[in-house]
Amino acid sequence: MKKNLIGFQYFFRSSQSNKRNINETSITKEENKIAKEISKYTNPHRSLHSGSINYNYIRNENSNLRLIVDYAGISNKESNHINELNKSENFLLLTDIHNQAKYDIYTGSLNYRFLSPMELKFVFGSQFSHVDNQFDVLSESNSEQTSILQNTRLKDQVMAVFFTLNKELSFMDINAGVRYEYAKIQTRQSSEDVTYTNDINRHFSDFFPNITLSITKPRNFEFDLSYARRIIRPNYRELDPGIYYEDSLSYTSGNPFLKPTYDNDLLFRVSYKNQLSFSFNSLKTKDAILQTYVEEEEKPDVLKMIPINIPKSRSFNLNTMFNHEAKDWNFNCDFGINIPHLKIPTSEGVHLINKLSWDCSANLDWTFAKCFTAYTNFSYSSSSYSLVTYQFAYNNLTIGLLARLADNKLTIDLSGTDILDGSNWNNWDERYLNVVTCMRGNYDMRGVKLSISYLFNGNPGSLKSHRGNISPLRRTN
């Protein structure tokens, strides 16, 4: 049964768009009030090339060796034209910001899977990633004819080794494993208006265990108990100390001293006949990442948005799900409750966030004439806290018709979205230290969506691909 399989895949993605935002703001200081109108025109252009080589040596049905090597090149360019009108003084400030980020991402992974004489399924593996990233920001303004060019070079390396084991018993499945990671980050910043470069070198290393116990007795019931320790690394843009000016009184900057987030996740779940389930989840987080506004130390009138770490936070979740299938009908729904526990500093002292929130969803499908399915989806989320951000309630109702034709090769999906005009999620308040930020968006998500797809060769789900650079690519957003 020995086989040697080699595969190669490549894909390219590019997008370009034009955006325009107009907002009015007022600044009150002592007895003076300044009224401003800010127009921002943004032209982002993003492109991605990614190639992967896969080698798979299959010794038998229980043993194989897999090697994956990837390279990805990313270019993100963006031009921002900001017109800031001071209505109180009748002065127009013009600012142009051109930024460019280039990424070279190299990744590799090696996994070996085998079955021991004691019927233990083992997987041993290692992973490596190297990211070379360069940020360039050029800011130009008609105020004193200023022009600033900033450059940041960031190199990020992550090396990991891990093993997992699985044992199937008559009444229980056991899955356990541990992962060790070592990460190194080098940041170098330079700017035209300074005569020196700033070098920052940091490294992290830690262990991440996980275990899951699944009990299948008594009949028709299943009990799951799991624990996992995970790491969430900051995006590369969040580590860039370069400055992106929003207007004359606010700017955005990264934080090269930002720490990764560590989660300790405990989950208990019980299900009955795959129709009804209840679960409880306790999540303990260290150094959660928060994007927030703080005052500039040297200029108290200027706000800067910067990512920071929240030292400790917790959340508790209760969830129930129900599913029922009939001959031509399928109905499923879920209901969840979340209780956060977080202390944040404000100008009035320490504020405890522990507001209960809930969400629910329901989906109903009806299949007729064998190839047509009418469906409706509804979801609702109550007002809630996400770290220091208070999110107002929103909902979404979608009704659609799905057709599968030509032996399921042709799929046509027609739907009406946000029928109740309630999915405007861009309404929130944020409070941290002595800064209060509010957003009252008016996004109209109502519309009609048409999707058509056709499978030219093979059957749906028959094509599989493997890449090892998904995690680093997500950090480039």
pTM of the model as a whole: 0.83
| Contact status, residue 121 vs residue 142, Cβ threshold 8 Å | no
pLDDT digit string, tens, across residues 96-112: 888 899 999 999 999 99
Q: Is 399 left (phi over 0), alpha (psi -120 to 50) or beta?
A: beta
Least confident of 38-42, 108-112, 275-279, 285-289: 38-42
pLDDT of the residue at 97: 85
Question: Mean pLDDT, the chain, as a whole number?
Answer: 86
**Cα separation of 278 and 270, whole Å?**
5
pLDDT digit string, tens, across residues 424-461: 777 778 777 666 777 776 667 888 999 998 887 655 44
pLDDT digit string, tens, across residues 301-339: 677 888 989 999 999 999 999 999 988 999 999 999 999
Q: Residue written as tokens 């941290």? A: 432
| Contact status, residue 293 vs residue 302, Cβ threshold 8 Å | no
**Cα separation of 31 and 162, whole Å?**
62
pLDDT digit string, tens, across residues 186-238: 998 887 655 456 788 899 999 999 999 999 888 889 999 999 999 999 999 89
pLDDT digit string, tens, across residues 49-85: 999 999 999 998 889 999 999 999 999 998 888 888 8
Percent of the chain scoring above 90 in pLDDT? 47
Give me the mean pLDDT over the 276-301 stretch.
85
Give the residue among 222, 215, 226 at the shortest CA–CA distance from 267.
226
For residue 464, pLDDT over 70 is answered with no
Give the residue among 28, 125, 134 at the shortest CA–CA distance from 74.
134
pLDDT of the residue at 459: 53
For residue 177, pLDDT over 60 is answered with yes
**Cα separation of 322 and 462, whole Å?**
30
Three-state SS sequence of the chain: CCEEEEEEEEEEEEEECCEEEEEEEEEEECCEEEEEEEEEEEEEEEEEEEEEEEEEEEEECCEEEEEEEEEEEEEEEEEEEEEEEECCCCEEEEEEEEEEEEEEEEEEEEEEEEECCCCCEEEEEEEEEEEEEEEEEEEEECCCCCEEEEEEEEEEEEEEEEEEEEEECCCEEEEEEEEEEEEEEEEEEEECCCCCCEEEEEEEEEEEEEEEEEECCCCCEEEEEEEEEEEECCCHHHHCCCEEEEECCEEEECCCCCCCEEEEEEEEEEEECCCEEEEEEEEEEEEEEEEEEEECCCCCCCEEEEEEEEEEEEEEEEEEEEEEECCCEEEEEEEEEEEEEEEEEECCEEEEECCCEEEEEEEEEEEECCCEEEEEEEEEECCEEECCEEECCEEEEEEEEEEEECCCCEEEEEEEECCCCCCCCCEEEEEEECEEEEEECCCCCCEEEEEEEECCCCCCCCCCCCCCCHHHHHCCC
